[in-house]
């Protein structure tokens, strides 16, 4: 019996030594019927990048939200509904589909992650809610509020790219992707208007709409308005470095 226990203990030791990927929290959407969920493309992209994905549900009280975040090595804020403009001191003027529970939960989580220095990646709504949590504002409706010929809500499937963005030379994003200009997918009607203090816009569509920002090195944040996980899921791994970067930052944080 003792021998079996010892063998088991050794097996567990070996197993825990073999587990190397950092724990990456994927923040779930919260449906009106009360279900937490996240698109599989996010999960698969994190796995491909070497992270260990774990789903983070909407948490209704601050202490619980903070405790969940404190267990993670990295956190990804995913796509979804519009953020309530009240968070940035504006009336509703173009924002639709507001999910107050999700806003509250995610703002607790962003503040906690920032306080602890936990690496953050924001995608689409994630890009918007992080900016709002840290004091920035949003364009509530691009088609009616920005002079543009671009369709930011593309008719092509999400796995296809539809418009270009330029990348600020010398930025972290430029070092990840190695290009100045690249075609991305576009599935949004809101965007960052004023970036929060500490966040630098580094990706722009040709009409000036914000497609990405970063807060490095002081804020451990990278965020994009487009959906790299869908392009990766569609078979194009050009944007996988964005996920690998989250995993690398999470490894560094976990050390």
Active-site annotation, residues: 124, 227, 229
Which residue number is nearest to Mn ion in terms of Cβ?
186
212 versus 215: smaller Cβ distance to Mn ion: 212
Listed in sequence order, the residues at least 6 apart from 10 whose beta carbon sits closer than 8 Å to its beta carbon are none
* Per-residue contact string for residues 43-62; x = within reach of Mn ion by CB under 5 A: --------------------
Neighbours of 42 (CB within 10 A): 28
Please tell me whether residue 186 binds Mn ion under the rule CB under 5 A.
Answer: yes
Q: Contacts with Mn ion: how many residues (CB under 5 A)?
A: 2
As a 3-state breakdown, the chain gives helix, strand, coil percent values, each rounded to 5, of 40, 20, 40
Say which residues have a Cβ less than 8 Å from residue 114's Cβ, sequence separation at least 6.
120, 134, 219, 220, 221
Q: Candidates 15-23, 86-94, 169-177, 178-186 — which segment interacts with Mn ion by CB under 5 A?
A: 178-186
Grouping H, G, I as helix, E, B as strand and the rest as coil, residue 55 is strand
**Does 162 participate in binding Mn ion (rule CB under 5 A)?**
no
Number of other CB atoms surrounding residue 8 within 10 Å: 10
At residue 206, the 3 state secondary structure works out as coil
Least gap, CB of 191 to Mn ion (angstroms): 7
d(CA 221, CA 208): 21
| Structure token digits, residue 57 | 């549900």
- Residue with smaller CB distance to Mn ion, 171 or 186: 186
- Nearest distance, CB of residue 139 and Mn ion, angstroms: 11
- Nearest approach, Cβ of 79 to Mn ion (angstroms)? 13
Site string for Mn ion, 67-106 (x = CB under 5 A): ----------------------------------------
- Provide the minimum distance between the beta carbon of 185 and Mn ion in the complex, in angstroms, as a whole number: 8
Residue position matching structure tokens 């070497």: 50
| String of contacts with Mn ion for each residue 100-139, x by CB under 5 A | ----------------------------------------
- Closest to Mn ion by CB, 152 vs 230, is 152
Nearer to Mn ion, 82 or 248 (CB): 82
SS3 of residue 100 by DSSP: helix
30, 102, 125, 152: which one binds Mn ion (CB under 5 A): 152
DSSP state of 255: -
Give yes or no for residue 185 binding Mn ion (CB under 5 A): no
Terminal-to-terminal C-alpha distance of the chain: 36
**Least distance in Å: CB of 150 to Mn ion?**
7
* Four-residue CA torsion sign, 62, 66, 67, 72: positive
Q: What is the binding site for Mn ion (CB under 5 A)?
A: 152, 186
């Amino acid at each position: 019996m003792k021998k079996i226990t010892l063998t088991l203990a050794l097996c567990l030791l070996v197993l825990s030594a073999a587990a190397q990927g950092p724990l990456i929290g994927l923040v779930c959407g919260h449906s009106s019927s009360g279900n937490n969920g996240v698109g599989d493309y996010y999960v698969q992209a994190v796995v491909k990048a070497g992270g260990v994905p774990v789903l983070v549900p909407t948490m209704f009280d601050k202490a619980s939200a903070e405790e969940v975040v404190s267990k993670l090595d990295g956190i990804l804020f995913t796509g979804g509904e519009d953020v309530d403009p009240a968070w940035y001191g504006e009336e509703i003027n173009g924002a639709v589909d507001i999910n107050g529970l999700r806003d509250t939960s995610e703002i607790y989580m962003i503040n906690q992650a920032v306080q602890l220095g936990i690496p953050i990646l924001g995608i689409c709504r994630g890009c918007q809610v992080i900016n709002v949590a840290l004091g920035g504002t949003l364009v509530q409706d691009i088609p009616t509020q920005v002079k543009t010929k671009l369709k930011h809500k593309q008719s092509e499937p999400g796995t296809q790219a539809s418009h270009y963005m330029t990348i600020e030379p010398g930025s972290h994003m430029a070092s990840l992707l190695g290009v100045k200009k690249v075609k991305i997918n576009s599935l949004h009607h809101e965007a960052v208007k004023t970036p929060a203090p500490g966040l630098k816009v580094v990706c722009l569509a040709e009409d000036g709409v914000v497609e990405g920002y970063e807060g490095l090195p002081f804020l451990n944040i990278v965020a994009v308005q487009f959906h790299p996980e869908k392009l990766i899921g569609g078979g194009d791994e050009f944007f996988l470095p964005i996920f690998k970067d989250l995993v690398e930052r999470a490894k560094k944080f976990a050390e």
